[in-house]
Structure 1
Amino acid sequence: MLDKRYQVFISTSGADMQPERVILAQTLVGMGFFSWGLEQRTSLSTAFARRQIDDCDYVVILLGSQYGEQSVSGVGYMHLEYIYAVTKQKPIIVFMHEDPDSRDSSLHDEKPELREKFKEFRKLLQQEVDQVFSYRTLRDLELAVRFNMSQMLERYPTSGWVRPQNTQALHDEIERLKSKLRQLETDVGQREADPFLSVSKVSMNESYRFEYRMHAYQDGNFRELKVERSLSWAQLLAILGNTFIHPTPEEYFSKRMNEYLNETGLEDARRIMPRAHAVARAQINIRALHQIKMQMRQNDWIVQAGRDDRQRMLWQTTAKAQKLLESNLLDTDRVYSFKTPY
């Protein structure tokens, strides 16, 4: 196996994110990444930052509670670096503080207009970037980086960097992997090392219990709750199935589940906060999400459908799943009397 290294450009608002930046850089180095980025920016450093982005494999946006220093145009340097990375079609991953308002007041922009720009930029990232992960503590950040940067290598593979004398070996490795990928995508079920094969099939009426987090609002305040939900596999298929009628990127598993939990989580919240009137920011446990995806794959409800132009893995419901979705077998009053035929 080739000893590859990947170059990561880190973009933050500045000195306010120094502790987080140190943790991020140390974690990346420990994982074999090279980290770049500018902590202090000027109009003269913009061209240098762009050259770094041109040469990097991945871009990491680390967002706390500040918009950061602005260029002469009034747009923040971090914002400009994000825009440039998008134009260069660089794989982008965002780690943002879960609750910026809870951070020390010294870590916030002083000017109201900058605070508003920060909110707008944060919302923009949540809407536009596929890979967005939140953290609250430095330990949370470290764990999120360790898990999700490894996932980035699988979802957005790049050539990376190897020693010059190994370039021919790299070319041979790339050709071998391309050939293997074509074989896997056309004959997924034959993979000997496929972890899905170790999962037993489930019946439609079996329940799956999982954890998720959300913000619950009561009496003008909010509180982050960690709760459990139990759904049958028929219900999970009904929730996720229609999202993947056509080939759809993998991250829509989490997007659709989190949407559903936002829509239905109030009852769970009221078991802890009886006067709760709204919930938001629902986020399913990532291991539970992976288990759901594995189980749907093993039950022959979803199948890999290649990759899109951004090299994102695509998934699609099978003919078997579509037949179930078109029938009335997933109706809530019949869910518990139906078993999947093996």
Structure 2
Amino acid sequence: MSPSVPLSGIPALPCSAADHYEFKLVGEGASNVVFEVVVQPNDESSSSIFQGNLLRVPKAGTKAHTYVELQEYWEAVVKPLFEPEDLVQHRLVHLGGEQLVLRLNAVLAKNEDIRRPDFRGSRVAAAEYGMLVEDMRQRQPNDLTLEFKPKWLAQSPNAPPSATRCRNCAREALKHHTKHTNHRDSPPILCPLDFLTCATSPAAFTRIADHLCSLNPLIPSPKTTHPAQYSRLLYWLQTNTVLPRLRAAQLDNDGQGPLQADAHDPKFQLAMTLRDCTCFIRVPYDPALPVEAKLADLDKKNWAAKLGYWQAMERRLIEGGYYEGREAVKVRTDCQLERGIVNESTDQREGS
């Protein structure tokens, strides 16, 4: 275990937690569940550890790494790449035994109807450790909160030289083409390369901002309902350093791409973790408070199990023509690479 995460200093949830706290389901993934812990107003003994934090616990029956391994990896490998304010902070917490697990599973069972179909029936594991995770939801009712996955902020090293799509746009085109969900009148797939050109392209940062805001169903039109916060979001997109830092780390740790990767190469492992993280943004209603943007979901992955999938996906994108927009019924992506080629061709025609 990393010296910065001593096991002896980890806070514990007492056995009485199951009776004293109320637990609310916040979200879940394939391997983890996140709960809000509501503490009784007169309970001062444990309330401080939940102030500004959510409780994350592992699911039963997965092949994910233990929380001790995940925390160690985050502390030793991920954390040094970023500034502290760039990351959603988290730390280990001792779970309070079987009674707590039963309470948490009862919450999952109660919410079964609203859970994602493929998550229904999954339950919390009887694990020794959970995590206290910084809460990036609204602090005040009118705060603007967003979350998104930056994805691959640079082209895949395995993409063909004639590619007219970045890796993410190619992957999204494959998904829509397979499911027949992308139509001529559908909004185009967002290109993550636009994140890095917001400082010089008004069209790019407007496109990104509108897309991000569309992901928040509680705020249908922030441009008109939250104009001051929308302007602050635009300014953040133009001036932030966390996404350029994330892109640089992706590039520094993978120069060959999945097809030439070794599952035991720690740098490639890190690059794929960095390509699957989530960015949370909170734009406070109070203009005196700063915009906060933090990266999360930076867990160590099961590399040996994942490499075959990553390589098969890369081959499918290449052989299916998705990097070059050659699928049978072309999918709209609005990729920055394709836009650049179109603009270059137009300039050449106009200059001839």
TM-score range for the pair, normalised by the shorter chain length = under 0.3
Which structure ranks higher in relative contact order (CA pairs < 8 Å, sequence separation ≥ 6)?
2
TM-score, length basis structure 1: 0.27
TM-score, length basis structure 2: 0.26
Q: Going by fraction, where is strand more abundant, 1 or 2? A: 1
